[in-house]
Amino acid sequence: MTADLAHDLRTPLSILSGYAEGLKEGRLNGSPAIYTIMHDEVQHLERLVDDLRTLSLADAGELPLNRRTVDPAALIERTALAHYIRAEAQGVAVSVEAGADLPNVFVDTDRMTQVLNNLVGNALTHTAAGEIHLTAHTQGDSVALTVQDAGAGIAPEDLPFVFDRLYRGDKARQRSPEGSSGLGLAIAKAIVEAHGGTIAVASTVGKGTTFTITLPSARE
């Protein structure tokens, strides 16, 4: 992980160093395009540092959670709405289905939204057409939230490692055009487990991927 992390840090630092040196020596003239690139790389470094801090807090059992009782249907509806514009622009439909008489869950809404946003964002990145389906249903004494896409799928040899930090075999973990840190799924797992839940993945190449989050219900 340290070697992979060094690689992730070295790339934006090399870009920033190259442009800064060129500007200092007068080989480059400042322009909005250059400043935009440099700003994007700084933001990437900031996201990486923030994500590493989140993981370190989770490892230490000190991840702060502001938990409250929440309707799980509201969680997936909020997530679908947040990604509506991007999905529409890509020609991808996002649907929501919630079971009847769902029990509430006791979660940090912002943290759980972070997890769902990561999953739906990944699904949109790897789904060229079709539908992304979000569901919430009871599963014994728990509530299951699923994000199912019709994308490229994940190769069987990569599937056991998708939640590993900075794992590079899985193309979904590579740095995205949006400049994500590549730690999104590891953070999702850490957040879900901090809530006493689990997260699992199933995938078929060429047909799509389904992530399932299982959380304890808040039944009294």
pLDDT tens for 88-146 read 999 999 999 998 889 999 999 999 999 999 999 999 998 988 999 999 999 989 999 99
pTM of the model: 0.82
173 compared with 102, residue with greater pLDDT? 102
Token readout for 199 is: 């997260």
**Dihedral angle over CA of 22, 27, 31, 35, nearest 10:** 0
CA–CA separation, 76 and 26 (whole Å): 52
**How does residue 8 score in pLDDT terms, banded at 50, 70 and 90?**
confident
Residues 6+ apart with CB under 8 A from 206: 152, 153
Helix axes 32-59, 2-25, angle to 10 degrees: 160
List 208's β-bridge partners, or say none.
204
> Given the DSSP bridges, would you call strands 105-108 and 67-70 parallel, antiparallel or unpaired?
antiparallel
